[in-house]
Structure 1
Amino acid sequence: MALIDHIKRCNAFDPSRYLPFTIAGHPIGAVTRDFAAKLAAFPEVFVTEGAAVRLRDELATPEARTAAVEDVLEHMREAGSAPKKKGELYRVVEHWGDGPLMLIDRAAVPVFGIRAFGVHLNGFVRRNGAIRLWIAQRAADRVIEPGKLDNMVAGGQPAGLDLRENLIKESAEEAGIASDMAQKAVPVGVLGYCMDSEWGLKPDTLFVYDLEVPADFTPRNTDGEVSAFRLMEASDILDLLRNGQSFKFNVPLVLIDFFIRHGLLSPDTEPQYLDLVRGVRAGL
């Protein structure tokens, strides 16, 4: 398996399956044609005429939109047409930094093809001139890719927190990292992809951070989402990436980017180097 195959996996979708979804004239996402047909049963909230779906203009405030869409989703959950509620709200924006047009339950984000944001933290150690990374193993009861390998810390970006606040929260919960240590994490870039999923389109944006941790530090999970941590040589991680899908689907993008930035992948030895550099940001 080539490294580029992980990027192709994260950018595999069929545009013909989807119709554009807009709010107040803003292109916000995309819904499957089948889901659009189901939304037609709620004409007081959605307009489904023509080759697009839009929220009714009468829903003129973020609060009104949030309440109306949640009411529709609750009806659809009861009918098995929408994913189970997670109870965590995401902001719905056209561009990062915009004020939210509405809030929506995290589980419903791909149903409307809304861009989701998240934070990923590479925790690494320098030892004898070599870099090792702390890799998490996802708990067996995780809904998405149970048991797969993951970054030391990663999490979706909820409403009500800025990126740094979320990174500190996730670092404490997932790896037992104290706030003063998490504060030292360095923002190093943004990655993106767009892929089909069980419930719809996933156009995701990942804000990536690096944190060099002390040699005597060992991460410790506190929220039950991680079953174990292991400190791995970069070469061993690359071997895993080149020999299957041991990692959660989007984690290889973060690791490939890390290896490029730290000179662990070279344009002299990696024939698809340019494709990798471009590919980890293909969905932005």
Structure 2
Amino acid sequence: MPQSLSYLDLVNELDGFPSAILNPTAHTERLSTLMLFTSGTHTLGYVLPSVVTALRALSSPHWTITPSTVSLTGHTVDERSTQMRTTLESFRDAQTFAVCSGKGWRNELYSVYSPNGELYLEMERSGAALFGVVQYGVHMTAFVRADGGLKIWTPRRNPTKSTYPSMLDNTVAGGIASGMTVFETLIKESAEEASLPESLVREKARCVGLVSYFMVRDHRAGGETGLLMPEVQYVYDMEVGDDVVPRPGDDEVQDFHLLTMDEVVSELRAGRFKPNCAVVLIDFFIRHGIITPENEPDYIEISSRIHRTLEFPLAKYT
């Protein structure tokens, strides 16, 4: 990996699926190699040929497979969720895909939404990338004002993790499980990953927007490469004082370090941050005036790419 990545390099590394707006020819060509996971009327995700082959091998009545689409036969949320669970358990038991076998299986449900923002089905988290559906998470940057600048509490992921081992992360980050709200997830992850009390997070954490992108998984993500992951990450900032020191609360994080902005930038440019965490930090830099149109020639592309319009139905939490 290059040792001096630009901010646009980091965005390109994460937002790897061609955009229909910025590169329509490449987008059309890429789609021609994929199948659509549909609700019957709307596309919910993109599926690789290897996944379609595995579905065909199941000979399951749960799936309707046409030359260009795959869809579940269930008529209700419960029926579709049960059918998806049966499918993914079959893949797990047969070890069809590493991403949902062994340590990859998470025992956590993710939500897939219909065009009106209502729940379409619930599915095992580790199988979401097999069907290219939108995944949701929350990231928080805890920072301190010191010595005329900002410092950021930065954790290193546990080297035993199956995904992005030993890479640097955001202060708090986690996927939004089915039935959880964004802020409930932030409270939960803050306690589990950083030992931050709920009272502190409720008082100090501020929702400052989101980042969205369309990732193509590489070897660092664990399991099969090339799986498709459109994602929305809700972003929070939390300014804290010297008396707040995050500490690992579970086995997700190895340790925390309070890094200066120069140190954070150096680690970013060296490619040591988990890719989506790098983009959350780039968003932080833009909002705090560290990246500006005057010092970043690719400011417009970076800003638009990390707030990508996704071509799938999206969640509504009201």
Q: What TM-score bracket applies, with the shorter chain setting the length?
A: over 0.9
Specify which of 303, 307, 311 is matched with residue 277 of structure 1. Answer: 303
* 2:78 equivalent in structure 1: 63
Classify the secondary structure of the residue corresponding to 1:270.
Answer: coil
Q: CA deviation at 1:221?
A: 1.1
* 2:314 equivalent in structure 1: none
Specify which of 200, 210, 217 is matched with residue 181 of structure 1. Answer: 200
Instruction: Indicate if the aligned counterparts of 2:142 and 2:240 stay in contact, CA closer than 8 A.
Output: yes
Hey, what's the Cα distance between the residues in 2 that align with 1:42 and 1:213?
55
The Cα offsets for residues 92-113 of structure 1, whole Å up to 9 and x where unpaired, read as 1146x82211100000000010
Q: CA deviation at 1:25?
A: 2.2
Classify the secondary structure of the residue corresponding to 2:107.
Answer: coil
Higher helix share: 2
Q: What one-letter code is carried by the residue in structure 2 that aligns with 1:230?
A: H
* 1:120 equivalent in structure 2: 139
Hey, what's the Cα distance between the residues in 1 that align with 2:296 and 2:114?
36
How well do the aligned residues superpose, as a CA RMSD in angstroms?
1.6
Instruction: Indicate if the aligned counterparts of 2:35 and 2:48 stay in contact, CA closer than 8 A.
Output: yes
Specify which of 238, 245, 260 is matched with residue 211 of structure 1. Answer: 238
Hey, what's the Cα distance between the residues in 1 that align with 2:33 and 2:95?
20
Specify which of 278, 289, 292 is matched with residue 266 of structure 1. Answer: 292
Show structure 2 runs of 5+ residues with no match: 18-29, 218-223, 311-318
* 2:44 equivalent in structure 1: 28
Instruction: Indicate if the aligned counterparts of 2:72 and 2:83 stay in contact, CA closer than 8 A.
Output: no
Instruction: Indicate if the aligned counterparts of 1:204 and 1:283 stay in contact, CA closer than 8 A.
Output: no
Instruction: Indicate if the aligned counterparts of 1:113 and 1:203 stay in contact, CA closer than 8 A.
Output: yes
* 2:23 equivalent in structure 1: none
* 1:10 equivalent in structure 2: 14
Classify the secondary structure of the residue corresponding to 2:67.
Answer: coil
Instruction: Indicate if the aligned counterparts of 1:126 and 1:215 stay in contact, CA closer than 8 A.
Output: no
Q: CA deviation at 1:283?
A: 5.3
Q: CA deviation at 1:210?
A: 0.3
The answer as to 2:63 corresponding to 1:46 is: yes
Q: Normalised by the size of structure 2, how large is the TM-score?
A: 0.84
Classify the secondary structure of the residue corresponding to 1:107.
Answer: helix
Classify the secondary structure of the residue corresponding to 1:267.
Answer: coil
* 1:226 equivalent in structure 2: 253
Q: CA deviation at 1:50?
A: 1.9
Q: CA deviation at 1:117?
A: 0.1
Hey, what's the Cα distance between the residues in 1 that align with 2:159 and 2:180?
28
Q: What one-letter code is carried by the residue in structure 1 that aligns with 2:133?
A: I
Classify the secondary structure of the residue corresponding to 1:159.
Answer: coil
Hey, what's the Cα distance between the residues in 1 that align with 2:254 and 2:88?
33
* 1:90 equivalent in structure 2: 110
Hey, what's the Cα distance between the residues in 1 that align with 2:82 and 2:307?
34
Classify the secondary structure of the residue corresponding to 2:51.
Answer: helix
Q: What one-letter code is carried by the residue in structure 1 that aligns with 2:35?
A: L
The Cα offsets for residues 52-88 of structure 1, whole Å up to 9 and x where unpaired, read as 11112xx111111111111122122222223122100
Number of matched pairs = 280
Q: What one-letter code is carried by the residue in structure 2 that aligns with 1:140?
A: P
* 1:250 equivalent in structure 2: 276
Hey, what's the Cα distance between the residues in 2 that align with 1:17 and 1:214?
51
The Cα offsets for residues 219-274 of structure 1, whole Å up to 9 and x where unpaired, read as 011111111101111122112222x2101121111000000100111211111111
Q: What one-letter code is carried by the residue in structure 2 that aligns with 1:39?
A: L
* 1:78 equivalent in structure 2: 93
